[in-house]
Structure 1
Amino acid sequence: MNKMIGAGVTAALSFAFAGEALAVEWNVSVWGKRRAFTEHVEKLAELVAEKTNGEFTMNVSYGGLSNNKENLDGISIGAFEMAQFCAGYHPDKNRVITVLELPFLGVSDLEEELAVSTAVYNHPAAAEEMAQWNAKLLMTSPMPQYNLVGTGEPRDELADFEGMRVRATGGLGEAFKAVGAVPTSVTATEAYQAMESGVVDTVSFAQHAHLSFGTINQADWWTANLNPGTVNCPVVVNIDAYEGLSDEHREALDSSVPEALDHYLANYGELLKRWDSVLEEKGVEKVMISDSVKEEFKAQAADPAREAWIEEMEAQGLPGQELYDLVQSTLEEHRATN
C-alpha cells in the first residue's frame, strides 16, 4: 500500500512539474502608460493567453524593466523577451527602418503606414540588421503624421520655424533643422517637462502622445495639417526566446499579430474621431498651414533628406535606394487594391 501511495505521489508531482514546464511567461518592456500606442501589445498578450489557455502569458511593464532608449539593448542581452522602441532613439542601431522616418513620404493614413512598415520589416536587410541585436521584428506601431503643439503665437509661416526649439527625433528632427529650427531628441516622457520649463517651444507628436504625455495641456495651438512625417516604432522579440517557444506557442503568437493590429487601428481611429473635441475642451487653437508653406517646407526638407539618406545607406552597404523604392511601390499597390 505504501509503495502504491509513494508511486501515486511521485506521478502527481511529475505531472505537476511537467505542467509547470509547459508554462511560459514573457516580460515586455514599454514606457509611459497604457495608451493607443500600446494597445496592440496589450491585445497581443490577451490573445496569446486565451489561445494557450493561460500557458503563455506576457507581463507588460511600463518603464519598470528599462527606459525607452535602452529597450533594444535589453532585448539583445535577453533582459526581457519583448519590447517596443522607436527608430529615432538610436538610428545607428536600426538604420534600415529609418527609411520610414524620412519626411514627406506621402503616407496619408494608418493603414498605409502599416502597409509600408510591414513591407520594410519583411525586407531581408531589416531582418539581418535586427538579428545583430538578437531581435526579430514582430509588428509595427502605426502612427499618424506628427504635428506640432506650441505656446504663444502660432507658427504658420516657414519663417516662424527659424530658431524654433522643437522636440523632434530622427528624420523629423532633420526636416525641421533644414528650415532653421533647433531640434532636440528628448524622450517622450521628458517632453512635458521640456515644454513646461521652456527648453523647447514646440513638441512634435502624434495625437495620442500629446494626450498621454500632457503636452496638449501646455499648448496654445496645434498644427492640424503640417504632416511632415512620423516616427517608426517596432515591437520586437528576442530571437532566442522566440525560437525557444513550442510550435503551439509560436503559432499562438504569430497568428495573434494581425488581430492585435486590427484592434490597434480601430482603437486609434476612435481617438482621431474625437480629436477636435479634445482641442475645443482644452482651448487649443487648430492651425491650418497653407499649401504653399507646406510645399516650401517639403522642397527644403524632403528631397535633400531623401538623397542624403540613400547616399549614406549605400555607402554603408545597405540598399538605400531599394528600400525607398519599396516604400513608394507599396503605397501604390496598397492604394490600387483599396
Structure 2
Amino acid sequence: MKNILGLTALATLTCAFAAEAMATEWNVSVWGKRRAFTEHVEKLAELVSEKTDGEFTMNISYGGLSKNRENLDGISIGAFEMAQFCAGYHRDKNRVITVLELPFLGVANLEEEVAVSSAVYNHPAATDEMAQWNAKLLMTSPMPQYNLVGTGTPRDELAEFEGMRVRATGGIGEAFKAVGAVPTSVTSSEAYQAMESGVVDTVAFAQHAHLSFGTINRAEWWTANLNPGTVNCPVVVNIDAYESLSDAEREALDSSVPEALDHYLSNYGQLLKKWDEVLEEKGVEKVELSDEVIAEFRAKAADPIRENWIAEMESQGLPGQELYDLVVKTLADHRGGS
C-alpha cells in the first residue's frame, strides 16, 4: 500500500512539473510607462493568457530589459521574445517600413494607418529585411499625425521654422529640415529634458506622447493642423520563439492581434476626444496654420523627400517605388471600401 501511495504521489508530482514545464512565458520589451501607445501590447497579453487558460503568458517590461533604441538588437539575439520599436531609431536596420514615415502621405486617421502599415508589413521585402534580425512583424502601433508644441511666440509661418530646433525623427525630421529647421532625434524619454534645457525649441509628437512624456506641461502653443506625418512603430516577435509555439499558442497569438488593435483604436479615440480639454486645462494656445502655409510646407518637403527616398531604396536593391505605390493604393482601396 505504501508503495502504491508513493507511486501515486510521484506521478502527481511528475504531472505537476510537466504541466509547469509546458507553460510558455514571453518577455516583452517596451519603454516609458503604460500609455495609449502600449495598450495593444497590454491587451494582447491579456487575450493570449485568456485563450490559453494561463498557459501562455507575457511579462511586459517598461525599460527593464533594454533601451528603446536597442529593442531590435535584443530581438535578434533572443534576449526577449517580443518588443516594440520605432523605425526612426535605426533607419538603416528597417529601411522598408520607413516608407510609412514619409511626410504628407495623406493618412487621415488611425484606421488608415493600420491599413497601410499592415500592407507594408506583409510585403516580402519587409518580411525578408526583418528576418535578417530574426524578427517577425506582428502589428503596428498606429499613431495620428504629429504636431508641434513649443514655447514663446507661436510659429505659424514657414519662415519662422528657419533655425527652429525641433525634436523630430524619421521622415518628419527630414520634412522640418527641408524648410530650414534643425531636427534632433533625442528619444521620447529625453524630449522633456531637451525642451526644459533649451536643447530644442519645439517637440513633434502625437498627442499621447505629449501627455506621457510631459512636453505638454512646458508648452505654450500647439500646432493643431500642421500634420506633417507620423512615425511607424511596429511590435515584433523573435522568429525562433514564434516558431517554437504550439499550434494552439500560435493561434491564440495571431487571432488576438485584430482584437488588440481594435482595443487600441477605441482607447486612443477617447484620448483624442479629450485633447482640446487638456489644452484648455493647461493653458496651451491652439494654433491653426493657413492652408497656404501647409501647401508651401508640403511642396518643399513631400515631393523631394519622397523622390529621394525612392531613389535611395532602389539603389540598395529595394522596391522603393513599389512600396510607395502600395501605400497609395491601400489608402484608395480602404477609402473605397469604407
TM-score in terms of structure 1 length: 0.99
* 1:117 to partner: Cα distance: 0.3
Secondary structure of 2:65 counterpart: coil
Partner of 1:102: 102
* 1:3 to partner: Cα distance: 2.3
Provide Cα deviations, 1:85-133, integer angstroms capped at 9, x if missing partner: 0000000000000000000001010000010000000001001000000
Matches within 5 A, 1:190-209: 190-209=190-209
Of all paired residues, the percent bearing the same amino acid is: 83
Secondary structure of 1:274 counterpart: helix
**CA distance in structure 1 between the partners assigned to 2:140 and 2:274 by the alignment:** 24
Partner of 1:38: 38
Provide Cα deviations, 1:24-72, integer angstroms capped at 9, x if missing partner: 1111000000000000000000000111111111011100000100000
**CA distance in structure 1 between the partners assigned to 2:289 and 2:78 by the alignment:** 46
* 1:21 to partner: Cα distance: 1.7
* 1:147 to partner: Cα distance: 0.1
One-letter amino acid of the structure 2 residue matched with residue 84 of structure 1: Q
Partner of 2:335: 335
Structure 2: 5+ residue stretches without partners: none
Matches within 5 A, 1:1-338: 1-338=1-338
Bigger mean CA offset, 13-22 vs 189-198: 13-22
Secondary structure of 2:143 counterpart: coil
**CA distance in structure 2 between the partners assigned to 1:6 and 1:96 by the alignment:** 61
* 1:6 to partner: Cα distance: 2.6
One-letter amino acid of the structure 2 residue matched with residue 50 of structure 1: E
* 1:13 to partner: Cα distance: 1.9
One-letter amino acid of the structure 2 residue matched with residue 302 of structure 1: A
Secondary structure of 2:72 counterpart: helix
One-letter amino acid of the structure 2 residue matched with residue 245 of structure 1: L
Provide Cα deviations, 1:209-266, integer angstroms capped at 9, x if missing partner: 0000000000000000000000000000000000011111110000000000000000
**CA distance in structure 2 between the partners assigned to 1:30 and 1:37 by the alignment:** 10
One-letter amino acid of the structure 2 residue matched with residue 120 of structure 1: V
One-letter amino acid of the structure 2 residue matched with residue 99 of structure 1: V
**CA distance in structure 2 between the partners assigned to 1:27 and 1:160 by the alignment:** 46
One-letter amino acid of the structure 2 residue matched with residue 156 of structure 1: D
One-letter amino acid of the structure 2 residue matched with residue 335 of structure 1: R
**CA distance in structure 1 between the partners assigned to 2:200 and 2:119 by the alignment:** 35
One-letter amino acid of the structure 2 residue matched with residue 164 of structure 1: M
One-letter amino acid of the structure 1 residue matched with residue 53 of structure 2: N
Structure 1: 5+ residue stretches without partners: none
Q: After the TM superposition, which parts of structure 1 deviate over 2 Å for at least 4 consecutive aligned residues?
A: none
One-letter amino acid of the structure 2 residue matched with residue 4 of structure 1: I
What's the Cα RMSD here? 0.6
**CA distance in structure 2 between the partners assigned to 1:188 and 1:10 by the alignment:** 53
TM-score in terms of structure 2 length: 0.99
**CA distance in structure 1 between the partners assigned to 2:252 and 2:17 by the alignment:** 23
Secondary structure of 2:141 counterpart: coil
Report the number of matched residues.
338
